[in-house]
Amino acid sequence: MRFTFRRGIHPEGRKHISSGIPLTDFPTPAQVYISLSQHIGAPAEPTVAVGDKVMAGTLIGKANGFVSANIFSSVSGTVKALMMRPTALGTKANHIEIENDGQYTKELLKPLEIINKESVIARVKEAGIVGMGGATFPTHVKLMPKNPVDTLLINAAECEPYITCDYRLCLEKAKEVVRGTELLMIALGVERAYIGIEDNKPDAIAALKDASTDNIGIIPLVTKYPQGAEKQLIYSILRRKVPVGGLPADIGVVVDNAHTAYAVYDAVDNNTPLYRRAMTVSGLAATPGNFWINTGVTYKEVFEKQEGLSDTAKVISGGPMMGFAQANLLPSVTKGTSSLLFLKESEFNEEPITPCINCARCANACPMRLMPMFIDQAALQDDIEELEKLNIMSCIECGSCSYSCPANRPLVMSIKRAKNLLRKQGGKK
């Protein structure tokens, strides 16, 4: 059986730039700026004041509600300021500036006395664990689904071009990823899990197979974009379809990222809250690598370590398909920063936008079976009724349509704008 989904695209992977480079520690600078909004949901409330001494692992922001997550210091040192700073999404959020004393003295969580459903969920919440594939949804919320769940899927697909940090993690820390998977299974009360990983990573697949147990299957997925999108992953492995407007839990499935599973292992077995992550630095203008990097390190600090400084024409946080081009280098690394790309001009398309030629390539590429060309037209006219008819809210913003368009139509941008318009209209109603 071929584990795949319908439609999608085959962009050039460019993983070779960084895939052969093992994870090493990224040097943490004298100052870090830790965002209190590193997750989907309410920003955390600061628990420290200027002048306070902290350790790596000290709680500095408390989750503010059910859909929110705790934030921890990534260094030991002194709190210097609380301030609003830009984020990678182009918004602003409260940050805590900490002067790093270079000692990295650690504050750990209390060891769990017993490992069961309740204690693992409580630990995931306490450790501030969120979806680390980029979605940053608080993981404890996913571990308490309203509907009964029978299967856990671990997403190690890493289908975005350039990014290789999950690949290195699965290769170098396969046992830990599998252990995290077992802990997530305990939290969900399920007896079956699958780790899905694209078949262009045979050594990581072998490492995971060696480490896995009978009830955790390792599934080599067809290499195709967006294989790592939640709905496509579920269909590829289980042939189940998430209903329109529904959640994976509605069809008995929870999906977590491989790095999230690793973070759960670290929080339960090593009592370490989430304040650092694996991140890829890549692109033809980069000095490529895969790094363990502390949250709060600014993009500027990473940029200044690149040899191709003057060749950098674009900086992207995340992958080239779903990531965010950066207007400046002030944002800092968060729990969701999977990669920073430093691209030369030759790596992206700056050709002019021309009118649609009705070729339907965008529709043929869309994994959600939408009609991007009609959505684009309705979006340009702010035609809310038509946008709803065209099921715009099912768009997963994967970018396959824009990638395929010979007229260079900025389809995803148009769809995102229209979705915001629709949300505002909904708000008014």
Among 373, 378, 390, 418, binds ligand SF4 (CB under 6 A): 373
Region of residue 61 (left: phi > 0; alpha: psi -120 to 50; beta: else)? beta
Helix (H, G, I), strand (E, B) or coil at 3: coil
Quick one: which segment of 132-140, 212-220, 293-301, 390-398 binds ligand SF4 (CB under 6 A)? 390-398
Among 68, 306, 400, 414, binds ligand SF4 (CB under 6 A): 400
Q: Based on the shown chain and the rule CB under 6 A, indicate whether residue 177 belongs to the binding site for ligand SF4.
A: no
Q: Based on the shown chain and the rule CB under 6 A, indicate whether residue 372 belongs to the binding site for ligand SF4.
A: yes
The two three-digit tokens of residue 2, written as one number: 């071929």
What does the per-residue mask of binding to ligand SF4 show for 404-423, with x meaning CB under 6 A? Answer: xxxx-x-xx--x--------
Which residue's CB is nearer to ligand SF4, number 128 or number 399?
Answer: 399
Quick one: which segment of 16-24, 117-125, 274-282, 397-405 binds ligand SF4 (CB under 6 A)? 397-405
Q: Based on the shown chain and the rule CB under 6 A, indicate whether residue 227 belongs to the binding site for ligand SF4.
A: no
Helix (H, G, I), strand (E, B) or coil at 33: strand
Helix (H, G, I), strand (E, B) or coil at 270: coil
* Polymer length in residues for the chain: 429
Quick one: which segment of 72-80, 104-112, 268-276, 372-380 binds ligand SF4 (CB under 6 A)? 372-380
Q: Based on the shown chain and the rule CB under 6 A, indicate whether residue 360 belongs to the binding site for ligand SF4.
A: yes
Q: Based on the shown chain and the rule CB under 6 A, indicate whether residue 231 belongs to the binding site for ligand SF4.
A: no
Contacts of 220 (CB under 8 A, 6+ apart): 3, 197, 198, 199, 202, 205
Which residue's CB is nearer to ligand SF4, number 335 or number 409?
Answer: 409
Which residue's CB is nearer to ligand SF4, number 82 or number 413?
Answer: 413
Cα distances from 423 to residues 42, 399, 429, in angstroms, run: 18, 20, 10
Q: Based on the shown chain and the rule CB under 6 A, indicate whether residue 356 belongs to the binding site for ligand SF4.
A: yes
Among 289, 320, 336, 399, binds ligand SF4 (CB under 6 A): 399
Q: How far is the CB of 407 from ligand SF4 (least distance, A)?
A: 4
Q: How far is the CB of 23 from ligand SF4 (least distance, A)?
A: 31
Which residue's CB is nearer to ligand SF4, number 189 or number 410?
Answer: 410
- CA-to-CA distance for 249 and 266, rounded, in angstroms? 25
Pairing state between β 45-46 and 59-62: antiparallel
Give yes or no for a contact between 220 and 233, defined as CB atoms under 8 angstroms apart: no
Helix (H, G, I), strand (E, B) or coil at 252: coil
Give yes or no for a contact between 332 and 296, defined as CB atoms under 8 angstroms apart: yes
Q: How far is the CB of 4 from ligand SF4 (least distance, A)?
A: 16
Cα distances from 390 to residues 67, 230, 371, 416, in angstroms, run: 30, 21, 7, 14
Q: Based on the shown chain and the rule CB under 6 A, indicate whether residue 368 belongs to the binding site for ligand SF4.
A: yes
Q: Based on the shown chain and the rule CB under 6 A, indicate whether residue 378 belongs to the binding site for ligand SF4.
A: no
Q: How far is the CB of 198 from ligand SF4 (least distance, A)?
A: 18
With tokens 């795949």, the residue in question is: 4
Give yes or no for a contact between 108 and 272, defined as CB atoms under 8 angstroms apart: yes
Quick one: which segment of 101-109, 128-136, 254-262, 362-370 binds ligand SF4 (CB under 6 A)? 362-370
Cα distances from 344 to residues 311, 320, 412, in angstroms, run: 6, 13, 22
What does the per-residue mask of binding to ligand SF4 show for 303-342, with x meaning CB under 6 A? Answer: ----------------------------------------
Q: How far is the CB of 159 from ligand SF4 (least distance, A)?
A: 13
Among 153, 159, 278, 362, binds ligand SF4 (CB under 6 A): 362
- CA-to-CA distance for 80 and 304, rounded, in angstroms? 23
Q: How far is the CB of 336 from ligand SF4 (least distance, A)?
A: 19
Among 365, 378, 390, 418, binds ligand SF4 (CB under 6 A): 365
Q: Based on the shown chain and the rule CB under 6 A, indicate whether residue 358 belongs to the binding site for ligand SF4.
A: yes
Beta bridge partners of 285: none
Distance of CA 118 to the CA centre of its chain: 26
- CA-to-CA distance for 248 and 278, rounded, in angstroms? 26
Contacts of 28 (CB under 8 A, 6+ apart): 74, 75, 100, 294, 297
List contacts with ligand SF4 (CB under 6 A).
356-362, 365-366, 368, 370, 372-373, 376, 395-401, 404-407, 409, 411-412, 415
